[in-house]
Amino acid sequence: MVAYHKKSVDFFKAVYDITRLIPQGRVTSYGAIAKSISLPKASRMVGWTLSQSISKTPVVPAHRVVNRIGRLTGKNHFPNPNTMQELLESEGIEVIDDKVVRFKELFWDPQAEL
DNA sequence: CGTCTGACGCACG
DNA sequence: GCGTGCGCCAGAC
């Protein structure tokens, strides 16, 4: 848990780093990531940051980040609207009606792992 | 420099 | 449980 509010580049890095830590087959939320970087109310920034993460290396598994109820709100930012769901399903995560099934059980808390 | 916008989340009624 | 309002902060205009 580090204060990354000094510079935006650090915010970027923090979001990318944490997102890369999400285990395959698990998901987390924008708010959870925001909390883990000491900006609990900057959840919006997390989503915005992830939208900038597409086509970056190393790859940022942004598809494993959904909103607090498990909805795939960011699907439209992928190459195809179906890409996010397909990536999740390829990891064994069931998605119905744009929502992660059993989201609560699959939820990965960044704080708990740090 | 003022405003608006957003892959969000919370408080409130 | 749902709609509404607002804070968050970086970027685009």
Instruction: Check residue A3 and give its pLDDT.
Output: 39
Q: With a 7 Å cutoff on the CB, does A12 touch strand B?
A: no
Q: With a 7 Å cutoff on the CB, does A46 touch strand B?
A: yes
Q: With a 7 Å cutoff on the CB, does A68 touch strand B?
A: yes
Cα–Cα distance measured from residue A61 to residue A25, given in angstroms and rounded to the nearest whole number: 11
Cα–Cα distance measured from residue A52 to residue A50, given in angstroms and rounded to the nearest whole number: 5
Cα–Cα distance measured from residue A6 to residue A22, given in angstroms and rounded to the nearest whole number: 24
Q: With a 7 Å cutoff on the CB, does A50 touch strand C?
A: no
Q: Tell me the whole-structure pTM to 2 decimals.
A: 0.90
Cis ω before A58 (30° cut-off from 0): yes
Q: With a 7 Å cutoff on the CB, does A38 touch strand C?
A: no
pLDDT, tens only, A25-52: 999 999 999 999 888 888 999 999 999 8
Say yes or no to pLDDT of A4 above 70. no
Chain B positions with any atom < 7 A from a protein CB = 6-10
Residue A31 (CA) to nucleotide C8 (C1'), in angstroms, measures 11
Tokens standing for A54? 């597409």
Say yes or no to pLDDT of A1 above 50. no
